[in-house]
Each structure stands twice: as structure tokens, then as C-alpha cells.
Structure 1
Amino acid sequence: MDVREALAKKIAWISVISNIVLTFGKIIIGWLGHSDAVFADGIHSAADVFASLIVLLVIKIANKPADKEHPYGHGKAEVIVSGIIGILLFLVAIYVVYEGISGFFHKIEAPSYLAMWVAVFSFFAKIFLYRSSLNVAEKHSSKAIEAIAYDHKADIVASIAAAIGVLISIIGIKFNIHFLLFGDKVASIFVAYLIYRIAKDMLTEAFDILLERNIDGETLQEYISIISEFPEVRRIDRIRAREHGHYILVDLRISIDHFKTIKEGHDLSHEIKQKLLDKFDNIKEVLIHLNPYFPKDR
């Protein structure tokens, strides 16, 4: 097991254990404490548990080396998982909205202070989990761990929103301000909106990668700058690069002088490829096609 896989599993297990604790705490106290917002946050945490378990199952697959059936590797397994988590969060958002709206048509009971403090505790716990997960995801270019980090990010705002909603409802009860009683219900709907936003971002990125969208122009320009350092490259005819999970595949067409030998072209291709691999840790493969260059092509 390499370092990347070990870290991914460690982050996933930490996420599973912490979310199990938070799930039971928020669902039970949200239910007993009459807080739709905290209960909804607990449902979201339950979805996080499921998401983390999926990540644990797929990490080993994503890190498998390329084989005959999968010559470009298995990196997209992480992207598929990211998409599944996005769909799961989207469904959670729909459920939370339904529960929040239906709460307006039932008798409102005052949420407890305990429900508020559970949400506050969840807020601080999720800040720690988000930062630690995101650091690992960025360091190792892991879409699966990044998905877990975004889950934690959604929980950060959701938890503080739930706490504020509960507090507003408590104030409404204490001072007999009727419209404030709906604070908890409104907070639960706001939580759903936050979950939806995270789900949308995750699904958009997953579909972009699965449909092999070109990487951003700034990164492509960095590749072009390095390739242009080779005087033998008379022209860059085309460059494309796509994410394949936690790594990038680059397709390059360049023109070199027509009188260059096959060996010279091969050696140049090898040098360009090696320089890109040395410069960018997340590039796994560089495919280079050579075109003949004639002076009249200028």
C-alpha cells in the first residue's frame, strides 16, 4: 500500500468514525429536542458516513496500475465515487427541504438548548475535519478525499445555520415572538440549500472529468511554456490535457524540422515528456505526435 492510498484510507476512516458519532448525536437530540434543523444536519452526517464507506471501497481500485483492459489506469474510479456522493447529497437536500416545509404545517414545539449546543460542537469538529482532509486531498491530488472534504465543508455551514435557527426559535418562545418560532424550520431549508450547492459543484466537476473536458487554460499555458523551451520544437500544433481522476493525461502534437531523423524525434519526445513529468507530479502520461515542419509552414 503506497502513502497516498494509506492516507486516503486514514482520512476516510476518521470521517466514518466522526460522522457516526455526530449522526447519532444530531438525529437523536434533534428528534428529542424538536429541532428540524439539527435533525436534518444529522441526516446529512448519515449521508457522509455512507460516502466515506464508498471511498474506502474505491481507493484501492483507483490506485491500481494500468493493465491490458485499462491502459490509462483506474483513476476515474475516484471521479465516479465523487459523482455518486454528489447524487447522494442532492437527494438528501430534497428530503431536508420536504421535512422543513412540512414543518410549517404542524404544531411547532420549542427546540432545546441541547440541540443548539450539539450543532455548535459539530461546527467546530467539522472545521478541523475539513481542513485536514482538504490538505491531504490537495497534496495527493485525490478526488475521493476532496469529496470527503467538501462533505465536511457543507457540514460546517449547515451546523452553524442549524445552531442559529434553534437559537432564533428559542428566542421566539421565550419572548413570545411568533414568527421567530419558524427559525428552526427556515434553518433546515437553508441547510438543504447548502447541501444542494455542494452536490451541484461535485456533480459538475465529476461530469467534466468523465466527459474529458480540457483542463484549465492557465495550466495548459504552463505546459506550453515548458515545451517552448526546446528550440527543436518549431511549432505546437495542438495540446490537450484531461484529468483522469487524481492524475492528468497530456496529448501533444508538435512540428519539428522535416529533415530530423526518427531517432532525433524520439529523443526529443522523450526529453519533453520527462521534463513535464518532473515538473508536474500529477501528470501520469504524455503522448506526443510529431509532424514534419517545412519553412513554408511559417
Structure 2
Amino acid sequence: MVQNGIHHVTAIAGPARRNFQFYTEVLGLRFVKRTVNFDDPGTYHFYFGDAAGSPGTILTFFPWEHVAPGRLGVGETQETVFRVPEGSIGYWTHRFVEKGVVHQAPEKRFGETVLAFKDPDGMRLALVGVAGIEAEPAWGGSDVPAENAIRGFHSVSLLIKDAAPTGAILTDVLGFGEVGREGTLIRYKAGDTAIGGIVDLRVAGDFLPARMGGGSVHHVAFRAADDAAQEAMVKKLAENHGIQTTEQKDRNYFRSVYFREPGHVLFEIATDVPGFAVDEPLASLGQDLKLPSFLERRRAEIEAVLPDLG
């Protein structure tokens, strides 16, 4: 069965070592892939996710050592939200206190308990307690007990001026449907997709525009099963909405096209195939620096300038 939903979220970070340590040691995510920004190979591209690097679990970063902070505004992803078992919110609240993580008191949204927090670069994140997911597989390679571990994405929330044009793309092209409203939030869900299946639109009117920087989400990627499914989405964007995408780009682990949706958020459509085990065994994901073939001849030069992760 074809699954729609979020494929991955890509954000901008500050120092690479700090970013690596927060997501592996504090949040307990698996370090799925260590590669570089194909357009700026002196910069890492990190991928964090579940044990297999499954679509709907992957948070990726471009870490620049001296990046200026971003500014939240219209046309940006406001918050990236992970799923955890419903009974583990207390565990995570204590863990954030213990680790010095900036966080808010738990609150209710759409009937679920939400614990909002920030990473060291000020990226806006949250955990949502979801009932009945305790038996889902969890990455066991950190000190976070499996019963409390993150189980992929819950949702993203987008801060936009007007919901209707963005909602039209979500429903007509990306396989989502509106399922509820609460305050300024409009919730869209991708059928029965459990992991990464929700997008919330937060209507902000004439708020300041976003400014990219440290802590900002660069883009949100949505799933296409394969090239044919991606091509169908591209065709629908052009014919029904007058939106052109980029040409397809090979990212080694998926193939991508990009476009600005009407609310100015950068969207990507990424194929589920071939996946992260295409160039290293599943058991050793993330251990070695992986370079695309066109950069392999520059390996020594690239390794010499990349920051040490400790």
C-alpha cells in the first residue's frame, strides 16, 4: 500500500559536534548517515532517525560552525514534532531538566499531551505522547530506555499567512486531508499513515517573514513511493496549480524534486527508494563518512576540513 506523509525534515545547525551529541545522546536517535552537503562538501550532512532510517523518522542537518541564528516567521516550519509513547512524557520532562534542555510545561493539543522544547541552536521541537505505540520498534543504541524512545515523526507545523492555498497542495498533490481545527491550527492527515502522517497549518496573517539561519528548518520532504509516483505529483502540481518543480536530483538515498508551496515554505518530494542501506550495511549505518561518487576523488581534502565529532 502506498504511504503518503513526511519523508524527512532538513534543518540548519551550528557546530557539528554539538548537533551530533544532542540528537544521539540527549534525544537518543540513531545516527543513520554521515555524509556531506553535495553543494558545499566542506560541510557535513547528518541524518538522524530510527534503526533503519525509515521514511517518516529522518531529521537531517547542515551544521555550519559560525551560522547566524534564524528568525521565526511566516513561510517557515514552526515546529518539528516527534512521537513517543503516551506514558513517557514524564520521563522526557525529567530528562530535559537533568540535561539542561530548554522546554515548556506539557500542554494539550488535539487531545494529546505535547512537550515543546528547543535544541542548542534554538530549533523548535516537541514530543507528543501517542497512545498504543509502546510495541512499535525503537532504536536501542542509546541510554534512552526502549519504552520511552522516540518513534519517528508525529507532525510538522507550518507558519503561514493563509491556509487555503497550502491546504490545496496538501490535499490535491501530497495525499493529506483536513481532519480538525483548534484555535489557529488546521490539522491535515495522510490517510492511515501513523509515522510522519500529520501537517498542522498555523495561520499567522501578516507576521514577519522568516529569516533562515541556525535553528531554522530549511525544507520539509514528503514521500513518493518511487519515481513514477513522484512524476505524477510533479505533473499534478503543474497542471492543477501552475507550480513548477526543480529537475530531479539524485541524493544517493532518495531522489528529489523541490518547489515553493504558495505559503513560501520550501517543499521536497523524495522517493522512498533506494534507502539508507544502499552504500553500507544496516548494522553499521552512520559509522563511516559516505561520499557521492563525484566527490570520492576529493575524499582526503574533504576529510581534512570536516570538524571532529569527538
Task: Assess same fold via TM > 0.5.
Answer: no
* Larger proportion of strand: 2
* Larger proportion of helix: 1
Bin for the TM-score computed over the shorter chain: under 0.3
TM-score (norm: length of structure 1): 0.24
Looking at CA atoms only, which structure, 1 or 2, has the larger radius of gyration? 1
Structure showing greater relative contact order (alpha-carbon pairs closer than 8 Å, 6 or more residues apart): 2
